[in-house]
């Protein structure tokens, strides 16, 4: 219309049309007036740190951290990210302090509000080494501590004191951990772990601005206690938790506190999705993989950072399975080689310029490919050496199908096989013991005898039964349904009819089923009662769910949560730690230490730890 | 674009839309201002902070030009919607794509990482107010105490006699000493006084202590604190006995003075390292708009626009390179500043250097290369042909429309209007010179043409100064003015024609 008018508009009618110009707007995102809460843990932390860096203004900065906040920051930011924000030095408040005074530096203090930290910070403020202090606590701090610090700031160097709730380790956008590898002893909370869990979950809720309905797994002492303490915290700090007061009548978010003991199987299984597999075989700690112990690893790959945020390849492929990753890497390699070949043919000066100009990306890409190639090489050599394909297939069979005698024969054969790692053999027996605990012909003792003759640690199996045997479990972990539950039975039948796509990935964690029930609006009260039931909406499923597993989450469950998120739900998963089978077994052993074994009388002779 | 009040007041180019607003709308706050005068005024007042000083100078010029035009067209006030500037529409499109990006579902895909920008920062709670209410009264008390001490120190030092006996007298006169007859124990270490442990007095508060608990403030420091020039102190420096070159103080007074000095130092401390660092930051800040502008220019060149030339981009690139070199040089200089090996300062220097190298590598050396000249000419040619064809088809359509209405257009008008139409539509092309050359001769007294010439001068100047933000604004304004000229010409010719038809 505009050009038309510009050319032939002789008539006044045309001019009338031109008198008012049309303004067309692109749909702005706020016009779609649906307030969608975005729940991304990594950006939650990042935004907080960003805030610290901007609030402290321009100038050279040092950041003063404690052990835990160091890990928290390192999960979200790389060193060069911090350099860009003018943070040039890192210092630990709790160790290796020097007395060097650098009065031209500003100091960002980011610490957990522990008694020890407060004392150390007070000392620092009495004798300040830097020109200005911007103090950020990662959690709720008592007023008396603030008063104490204020009395110590005699040279007026403090410019800000704030609570910013970045008090958890963001592993993935939907997964957080509290790095508590053992949270129980004598089948009850370790007091420190309990406090840390309350703080961690409170911080997650505050950083995502959620004031949730709190549900806990019925019958679990630990879950109930945690729920109560979190509830107390939210009511005590009600002004902090006063977010958008349900204006649009949406159901409030849900905090679901689960107990690892409901599903001891998932952490025991060998996993084949990339992130889970790397953790199982190579152990991921704070997004870092330590390969220094492995032979034939190039020097620059001794410690690898696996962060989906900084490593695009990893970000897109962390949930892909072993086979998929292999072919993706092959593609990437080809692409990389093509590029590398291109550059070998640098003929003119222009070519050279182009090469230099694409250099940063080039280098980044080659680094990423080589890194993942290195990891994949390690994974494949371990899998072959430990005969993992065969072991894993049987693991999956035990977890998903009930065929007692056939499976028993296969287990007997496999665990006697010297090629099978003794730890894998123990895990197979543990899975068998969990599955057929109440089976008439259960032969756990016989299997344990074989393990014992091979010199394995038999203590694990009875400990696991004590920790998570049928007497504690809720929900139907192994789909042992009675005929009366028609709906469930049909579902299982349909599942059976569809056949198995991949023998290595038949098992889906119990968590997925639980969450599906939540989102379908099924009745939750009997199994997951709410502690603040006044918030519970009438038969409306929540929009956002934060799940916390006491006793540790797994990467396989994170994958399940990721699938749900892709399907449009919003779920965040957390755990006292992120387990692989080894760390889970350690957790079970510590958790059951000091208890009297009541349910494993038949295995009594395998309980003593003397054959370790 | 939004920096220019005229370009963006009324037209907002768009391809798709949900709602259509009509009237004199402010493009930023979308208020309907009813008339162009109100709108201009509103825009100048409300959104003034978005324009830099230089632009506002030009804005004034345009306002004047505009007023003249408006006076001529008083009753009509026609604004022709301009064709979208390609750069702007491209960026708009990109923005809308970004906003409406759909979450893809797929096993391997994880675009959660891209959602970052929309999440707001979590809850927080500040204790600083409370902190201050606890801290500040204490600090104020200390401050007044310290001030008192400094005043006393000043008086004490102002004419301090060199003779020991006189000095003691002078000290006692300035600050009365406490009566020590009833003090049996040293108040700070609680040891009893006797022949070997004599009573001493703080020269600033007069308090009593033993020799072990006494502290000494060197005279030069004292002079500095009392802000007396050091020349005054020179005779005092001649004193032989070391005890006389310092002032005896109690622990508390010394601490107060030390703290004061410390605070003063930390506020004024600017060593060489900090100075060079500030230079680097300044350079980095300066170069940021240049980097953006360079990318914009390269994009615009690839789009086939003629606002910027290849030489512009080359010059800017050279300038960026120079800044990069300067930054590099300064960061190297920081490394050469002396510091203890293994110290924190050493680590700091290395970290600064590292971040400079990173910044240079990632931001300045990785700029996209310039397209070569032939390629640009090719694009421009193609674009010109496209536009010409579009105009032709539109003209044909217009003519058909008129024919349908039974109106015939006199043949004589079309070729002329076509050439102007081209000019007005071709935002992106500089083929205005030909018709304009003729107009300048005939209509020198026209304020509009005068304005055009002035702007051309400005553009040249801005180019020389590598001020491409201004170049862009001016180029766009120039085009607007040229279109005005065309509009007027067309109008006068058409009115002439209607007069002809009437007769």
Q: What's B150's domain CATH number? A: 3.30.40.10
Name which of A296-305, B315-324, B369-378 the model is least confident about. B369-378
CATH architecture of A41-167: 3-Layer(aba) Sandwich (3.40)
Most confident range, picked from A368-372, A437-441, B39-43: A437-441
Residue B122 within any structural domain of the chain: no
A346: confidence class by pLDDT, cuts 50, 70, 90: low
Which residues sit opposite A161 in a β-bridge? A135
Q: How far is CA B431 from CA A136, B74, B173, B374, in A?
A: 61, 30, 92, 19
Give A545 to chain B, closest Cα distance, Å: 16
Measured CA to CA, the distance from residue B100 to residue B93 in angstroms comes to 11
Please give the pLDDT value at position A243. 79
Same domain, residue pair B145 and B225 = yes
Chain A residues within an 8 Å CB radius of B354? 80, 83
A595-599, B89-93, B137-141, B165-169 — most confident range: B137-141
Mean pLDDT lowest among A66-75, A266-275, B474-483 = B474-483
Task: Tell me the pLDDT tens digit for each residue of B449-480.
Answer: 888 888 888 888 888 877 788 888 888 888 88
d(CA A465, CA A345): 64
> In the prediction, which pLDDT does A398 show?
86
Task: Establish how many alpha carbons lie within 13 A of residue B178's alpha carbon, considering only the half-sphere containing its beta carbon.
Answer: 17
pLDDT for B403:
75
Say yes or no to pLDDT of B431 above 50: no
Asked if A8's CB is within 8 angstroms of B126's CB, the reply is no
pLDDT at residue number A225: 95
> pLDDT value at position B237?
54
- B436 or A236, greater pLDDT: A236
Residue at which a domain ends, from B268, B294, B321:
B268
Among A256-265, A352-361, A400-409, A479-488, which is the least confidently predicted range? A479-488
Beta carbons of A146 and B348 less than 8 Å apart: no
Q: How far is Cα A582 from Cα A50, in angstroms, rounded to an integer? A: 36
Chain length of chain B = 503
Q: What is the band of A26 on the pLDDT scale with cuts at 50, 70, 90? A: very low
Q: Give the confidence band of A370 by pLDDT, cuts at 50, 70, 90.
A: confident
Of B96, B112, B348, the CB nearest to A88: B348
Q: What is the pLDDT of residue A138?
A: 95
Shortest CB distance from A360 goes to which of B21, B266, B361?
A: B361
Highest mean pLDDT among A66-75, A290-299, B156-165: A66-75
pLDDT at residue A491 in the model? 61
Residue A559: its chain B contacts at CB < 8 A?
A: none
Report the half-sphere exposure of B485 (CA within 13 A, side-chain side).
27
Position A274 pLDDT exceeds 50? yes
In terms of domains, do B418 and B480 share one?
yes
pLDDT higher than threshold 60 for residue B143: yes
Domain A274-385 in the same topology as domain A41-167 = no
**Structurally, how many domains does chain B consist of?**
4
CB contact under 8 A, B395 and A23: no
pLDDT band at A145 (very low <50, low <70, confident <90, very high): very high
| Domain-embedded: residue B291 | yes
CA atoms within a 13 Å half-sphere pointing along the CA-CB vector of B396: 5
Q: Is residue B486 located within the same domain as residue B421? A: yes
pLDDT at B107 over 50: no
For residue B31, the model assigns a pLDDT of 61
| Option in B23, B132, B369 nearest A354 (CB) | B369
Band the pLDDT of B208: cuts 50, 70, 90: confident
Q: CA-CA distance, A50 to A77, in Å (whole number)?
A: 10
Of A110 and B118, which is predicted with more confidence?
Answer: A110
A7/B391 touch (CB, cutoff 8 Å), yes or no: yes
Between A8-17, A282-291, A475-484, B115-124, the lowest mean confidence (pLDDT) is in: A8-17
Contact: B369, A357; criterion CB under 8 Å: yes
Q: In this prediction, what percent of chain A has a pLDDT beyond 90? A: 37
What are the chain B neighbours of A8 within 8 Å (beta carbons)?
395, 398-399, 401-402, 409
Alpha-helical segments (H) within B159-239: 164-174, 219-225, 230-237
B168 has a pLDDT exceeding 60? yes
| Residue B402 included in any domain | no
Q: Average of pLDDT values for B227-250?
A: 64
B389-424 pLDDT per residue, tens? 888 888 888 888 777 766 544 544 444 444 444 444
Q: What percentage of chain A carries pLDDT values higher than 70? A: 82
Q: Which residues of B touch A352 (CB under 8 A)?
A: none
pLDDT of residue A28: 32
For residue A324, the surrounding DSSP H or E stretch is helix A322-344
CA angle A175, A176, A177 (to 5 degrees): 135
Contact A357 B362 (CB under 8 A): no
pLDDT (0 to 100) of residue A106: 92
Q: Do the Cβ atoms of B119 and A43 come within 8 Å?
A: yes
Do residues B333 and B360 both lie within one domain?
yes
Q: Is-contact A306 A288, C-beta < 8 A?
A: yes
Sort out which chain A residues have CB atoms less than 8 A from B113's CB and list them: 40, 42, 173, 308-309, 315
- Most A CBs within 10 Å, among B31, B101, B123, to test the A interface: B123
| Chain B positions in Cβ-Cβ contact with residue A209 (cut-off 8 Å) | 120, 122-123
Identity of the residue in A31, A84, A154 whose CB atom sits nearest the CB atom of B259: A154
How large is the average pLDDT for residues A578-600? 88
Q: Is the pLDDT of residue B361 over 70?
A: yes
CATH hierarchy code of domain A274-385: 3.90.830.10
- Give the gap in angstroms from C-alpha B380 to the nearest C-alpha of chain A: 20
User: Which CATH code is given to the segment(s) A171-263+503-579?
Assistant: 3.40.50.1910
Q: Which two tokens stand for residue B122?
A: 């979590």
Judge: B119–A105 Cβ closer than 8 Å, yes or no: no
From the list B12, B99, B121, the residue facing A23 with the nearest CB is B12
Mean pLDDT check: name the lowest of A39-53, A60-74, A133-147, B180-194. Answer: B180-194
Same domain? B42 vs B154: no
Per-range mean pLDDT, top range of A264-273, B171-180, B290-299? A264-273
Domain layout of chain A by residue ranges: 41-167, 171-263+503-579, 274-385
- Name chain B contacts of A50, Cβ cutoff 8 Å: 121
Residue B255 and residue B145 share a domain: yes
Helix A191-207 × helix A41-55 angle, to 10° = 80
* Residues in A touching B20 (Cβ below 8 Å): 22-24
Q: Of B61, B80, B99, which one is at a domain's C-terminal end? A: B80
Answer with the residue of higher pLDDT: A147 or B89.
A147
Which two structure tokens, joined as six digits, stand for B128? 């600083």
B307 and B235 assigned to the same domain: no
Q: For B466-480, b where at least 16 C-beta lie within 10 A, e where not — what string?
A: ebbbbbbbbbbbbbb
Q: What is the pLDDT of residue A483?
A: 43
Cα–Cα distance for residue pair A289/A555, rounded to 1 Å: 15
Angle A103-A104-A110 from CA coordinates, rounded to 5°: 80
Q: Of the candidates B356, B96, B378, which has an alpha carbon nearest to the alpha carbon of residue A26?
A: B96
B193 or B231, which is more confident? B193
Q: What is the pLDDT of residue A19?
A: 32
Q: Which residue of B has its CA nearest to A208?
A: B122
Count the Cβ atoms, other than its own, within 10 Å of residue B69: 20
Residue in chain A closest to B349 (alpha carbons) equals: A88
From the list A28, A209, A360, which residue is nearest B123 (CB)? A209
Taking residues A362-372, report their average pLDDT.
72
B496 located within any domain: yes
Domain end, chosen from B80, B112, B145, is at B80
Mutation for testing the B interface, residue in A1, A4, A10 having most B CBs under 10 Å: A10
Q: Look at residue B123 and tell me if it is in a domain.
A: no
- Return mean pLDDT, chain A: 82
Contact criterion met (CB < 8 Å) for B113 and A315? yes
User: Taking CB atoms and an 8 Å limit, are B369 and A2 in contact across chains?
Assistant: no
Å from A263 to nearest chain B CA?
24
| B65 band by pLDDT with thresholds 50, 70 and 90 | low
Of B263, B277, B359, the CB nearest to A60: B277
Torsion of CA A527, A531, A532, A535, to 10 degrees: -10
How many residue contacts between A and B have a Cβ separation below 8 Å?
280
The number of CA neighbours under 13 Å toward the Cβ of A10 is 22
| A contacts of B259 (beta carbons < 8 Å) | 154-155
Name the most confidently modeled range: A148-157, B8-17, B333-342.
A148-157
Q: What is the mean pLDDT of residues A312-324?
A: 86
Q: Which residue has the tokens 């929540």?
A: A542
Selected for mutation to probe chain B from A2, A5, A8 (highest B CB count within 10 Å) is A8
Q: How confident is the model at residue B153 (pLDDT cuts 50, 70, 90)?
A: confident
**Residue B375: inside a domain, yes or no?**
no
pLDDT in tens, B22-34: 556 665 566 666 6
Is pTM beyond 0.80? Reply is no
Whether residues B113 and A308 touch (CB distance < 8 A) is answered with: yes
Q: Inter-chain contact A318–B395, Cβ cutoff 8 Å?
A: no
- SS3 label, residue A495: helix
CA A97/CA A107 separation, integer angstroms: 14
**Most confidently modeled range among A331-340, B38-47, B245-254:** B245-254
Instruction: Of A39-43, B260-264, B447-451, give the range with the top mean pLDDT.
Output: A39-43
Cβ burial A179-193 (10 Å sphere, 16+ → b, else e): bbbbbbbebebbeeb
CA distance to partner chain B, nearest, from residue A72 (Å):
16
Q: Is residue B58's pLDDT more than 90?
A: no
In this structure, how many other beta carbons lie within 10 angstroms of the beta carbon of residue A144?
9
Same structural domain for residues B256 and B331?
Answer: no
Distance from CA of A509 to the nearest CA of B (A): 17
How far apart, in whole angstroms, are the C-alpha atoms of residue B245 and residue A428? 84
Asked if B287 contacts B328 with a C-beta cutoff of 8 angstroms, the reply is no
Q: What is the mean pLDDT of residues A506-520?
A: 87
Mean pLDDT of chain B, nearest integer: 71
Nearest CA in chain B to A9: B398
Question: What is the nearest CA distance from A472 to chain B, expressed in angstroms?
Answer: 34
Assess whether B264 and B289 both reside in one domain: no
DSSP H helical ranges for A141-265: 143-152, 191-207, 221-236
**How many C-alpha atoms does A154 have within 13 Å on its Cβ side?**
17
pLDDT at B386 over 80: yes
Q: Which of A24, A129, A244, A323 to mutate to test the interface with B (most CBs of B within 10 A)?
A: A24
In this predicted structure, the answer to whether residue B21 has a pLDDT above a threshold of 60 is: no
Note whether residue B95 is domain-resident: no
A1 pLDDT more than 90: no
Least-confidence region, from A59-68, A351-360, B295-304: A351-360
Confidence of residue A524 (pLDDT cuts 50, 70, 90): confident
Residue B337 CA to residue B349 CA, distance in Å, equals 9
Residue B399 C-alpha, separation from nearest chain A C-alpha, in angstroms: 8
Given a cut of 60, whether residue A23 has pLDDT beyond it is: no
Best of B24, B93, B113, B401 to substitute, by most chain A Cβ atoms within 10 angstroms, is B113
C-beta atoms of B394 and A7 within 8 A:
yes
Residue A172's DSSP bridge partners are A175
Summarize pLDDT for A161-186 with one digit per residue, the tens: 999 999 999 999 999 999 999 999 88
Question: By residue range, what is the domain housing residue B436?
Answer: 410-502
Does residue B391 form part of some domain? Answer: no
> Are A26 and B95 in contact (CB < 8 Å)?
yes
**Beta strands A553-554 and A578-579, pairing class:** parallel
Instruction: For residue A25, give the chain B residue with the closest CA.
Output: B17
> Does residue B261 sit in the same domain as residue B279?
no
Q: Which residues of B touch A22 (CB under 8 A)?
A: 20-22, 81
- A612 has pLDDT over 50: no
CB contact set of A214 (below 8 Å; sequence gap of 6+): A227, A230, A231, A234, A255, A257, A530, A531, A532
Contact A102 B345 (CB under 8 A): yes
Region A29-34: mean pLDDT is: 34
Give the range among A242-246, A286-290, B227-231 with minimum mean pLDDT. Answer: B227-231
């Amino acid at each position: 219309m505009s050009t038309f008018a510009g050319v032939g508009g002789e008539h006044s009618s045309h001019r009338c049309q031109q008198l008012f110009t049309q303004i067309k707007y692109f749909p702005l995102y706020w016009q779609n007036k649906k307030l969608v809460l975005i729940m991304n843990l990594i950006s939650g932390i990042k935004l907080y740190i960003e805030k610290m860096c901007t609030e402290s203004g321009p100038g050279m900065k040092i950041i003063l951290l404690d052990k835990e906040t160091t890990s928290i920051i390192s999960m979200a930011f790389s060193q060069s990210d911090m350099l860009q924000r003018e943070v040039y030095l890192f210092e630990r408040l709790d160790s290796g302090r020097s007395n060097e005074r650098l009065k031209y530096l500003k100091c960002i203090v980011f610490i957990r509000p522990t008694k020890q930290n407060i004392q150390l910070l007070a000392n620092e403020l009495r004798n300040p080494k830097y020109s200005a202090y911007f103090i950020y606590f990662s959690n709720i701090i008592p007023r008396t501590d603030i008063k104490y610090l204020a009395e110590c700031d005699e040279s007026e160097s403090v410019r800000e004191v704030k609570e910013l709730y970045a008090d958890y380790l963001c592993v993935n956008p939907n997964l957080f951990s509290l790095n508590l590898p053992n949270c129980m002893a004598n089948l009850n909370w370790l007091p420190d772990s309990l406090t840390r869990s309350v703080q961690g979950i409170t911080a997650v809720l505050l950083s995502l601005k959620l004031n949730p309905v709190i549900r806990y797994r019925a019958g679990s002492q630990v879950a109930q206690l945690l729920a109560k303490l979190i509830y107390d915290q939210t009511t005590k700090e009600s002004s902090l938790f006063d977010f958008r007061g349900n204006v649009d009548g949406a159901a409030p978010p849900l905090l679901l506190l689960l107990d690892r003991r409901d599903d001891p199987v998932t952490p025991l299984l060998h996993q084949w999705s990339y992130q889970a597999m790397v953790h199982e075989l190579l152990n991921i700690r704070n997004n870092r993989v330590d390969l220094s112990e492995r032979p034939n690893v190039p020097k620059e790959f001794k410690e690898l950072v696996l962060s989906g945020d900084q490593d695009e390849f990893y970000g897109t492929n962390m949930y892909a399975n072993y086979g998929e990753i292999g072919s993706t890497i092959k593609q990437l390699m080809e692409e990389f080689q093509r590029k590398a070949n291109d550059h070998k043919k640098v003929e003119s000066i222009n070519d050279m310029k182009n090469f230099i100009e694409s250099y940063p990306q080039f280098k980044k890409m080659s680094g990423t490919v080589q890194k993942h190639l290195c990891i994949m090489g390690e994974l494949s050599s371990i899998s072959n050496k430990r005969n993992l394909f065969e072991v894993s297939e049987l693991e999956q069979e035990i977890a998903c199908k009930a065929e007692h005698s056939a499976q028993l024969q296969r287990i007997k054969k496999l665990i006697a096989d010297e090629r099978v790692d003794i730890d894998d053999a123990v895990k197979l027996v543990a899975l068998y013991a969990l599955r057929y605990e109440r089976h008439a012909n259960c032969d756990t003792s016989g299997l344990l005898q074989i393990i014992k003759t091979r010199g394995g640690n038999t203590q694990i199996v009875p400990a696991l039964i004590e920790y998570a045997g049928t007497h504690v479990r809720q929900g139907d972990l192994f789909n042992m349904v009675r005929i009366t539950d028609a709906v469930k039975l049909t579902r299982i039948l349909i599942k059976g009819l569809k056949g198995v796509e991949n023998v290595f990935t038949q098992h889906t964690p119990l968590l997925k089923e639980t969450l599906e029930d939540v989102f379908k609006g099924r009745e939750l009260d009997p199994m997951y009662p709410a502690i603040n039931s006044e918030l519970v909406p009438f038969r409306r499923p929540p929009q956002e769910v934060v799940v916390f597993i006491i006793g540790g989450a797994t990467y396989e469950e994170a994958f399940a949560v990721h699938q749900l998120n892709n399907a449009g739900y919003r779920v965040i998963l957390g755990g006292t730690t992120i387990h692989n089978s080894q760390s889970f077994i350690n957790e079970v052993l510590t958790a059951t230490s000091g208890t009297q074994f009541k349910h494993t009388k038949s295995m009594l002779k395998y309980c003593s730890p003397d054959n370790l | 674009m939004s920096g220019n009040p005229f370009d963006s007041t009324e037209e907002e180019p768009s391809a798709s839309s949900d709602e259509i607003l009509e009237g004199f709308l402010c493009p930023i706050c979308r208020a309907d201002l009813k008339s162009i005068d109100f709108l201009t005024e509103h825009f100048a007042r409300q959104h003034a902070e978005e324009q830099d000083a230089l632009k506002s100078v030009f804005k004034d010029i345009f306002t004047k030009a505009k007023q003249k035009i408006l006076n001529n067209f008083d009753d009509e006030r026609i604004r022709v919607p301009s064709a979208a500037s390609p750069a702007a529409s491209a960026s708009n499109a990109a923005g809308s794509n970004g906003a409406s990006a759909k979450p893809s579902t797929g096993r391997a895909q994880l675009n959660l990482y891209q959602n970052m920008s929309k999440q707001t920062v979590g809850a927080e709670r500040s204790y600083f107010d409370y902190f201050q209410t606890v801290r500040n009264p204490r600090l104020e008390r200390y401050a007044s105490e310290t001030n008192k001490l400094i005043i006393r120190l000043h008086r004490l030092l102002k004419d301090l006699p060199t003779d020991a006996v006189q000095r003691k007298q002078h000290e006692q006169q300035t600050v009365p000493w406490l009566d020590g007859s009833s003090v049996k124990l040293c108040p700070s270490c609680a040891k009893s006084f006797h022949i070997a442990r004599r009573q001493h007095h703080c020269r600033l508060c007069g308090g009593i202590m033993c020799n072990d608990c006494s502290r000494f403030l060197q005279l030069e420091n004292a002079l500095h604190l009392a802000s007396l020039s050091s020349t005054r102190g020179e005779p005092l420096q001649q004193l032989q006995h070391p005890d006389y070159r310092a002032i005896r103080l109690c622990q508390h007074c010394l601490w107060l003075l030390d703290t004061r000095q410390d605070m003063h130092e930390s506020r004024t401390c600017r060593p060489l390292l900090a100075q060079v660092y500030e230079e680097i930051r300044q350079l980095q800040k300066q170069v940021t708009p240049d980097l953006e502008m360079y990318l914009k220019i390269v994009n615009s060149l690839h789009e086939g626009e003629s606002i910027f030339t290849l030489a512009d981009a080359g010059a800017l690139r050279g300038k960026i390179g120079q800044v990069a070199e300067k930054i590099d040089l300064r960061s190297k200089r920081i490394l050469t500043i002396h510091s203890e090996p293994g110290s924190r300062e050493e680590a700091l220097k290395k970290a600064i250097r590292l971040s400079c190298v990173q910044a240079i590598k990632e931001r300045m050396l990785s700029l996209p290369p310039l397209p070569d000249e032939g390629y640009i000419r090719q694009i421009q040619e193609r674009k010109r042909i496209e536009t010409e064809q579009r105009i032709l088809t539109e003209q044909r359509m217009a003519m058909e429309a008129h024919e349908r209405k039974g109106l015939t257009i006199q043949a004589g008008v079309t070729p002329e209007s076509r050439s102007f139409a081209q000019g007005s539509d071709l935002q992106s092309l500089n083929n205005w010179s030909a018709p304009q050359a003729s107009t300048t001769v005939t209509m020198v007294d026209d304020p509009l043409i005068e304005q055009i010439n002035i702007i051309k001068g400005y553009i040249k100047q801005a180019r020389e100064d590598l001020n491409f933000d201004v170049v862009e604004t001016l180029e766009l304004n120039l085009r607007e003015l040229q279109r005005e000229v065309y509009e007027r010409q067309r109008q006068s010719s058409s009115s002439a024609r209607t007069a002809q038809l009437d007769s």
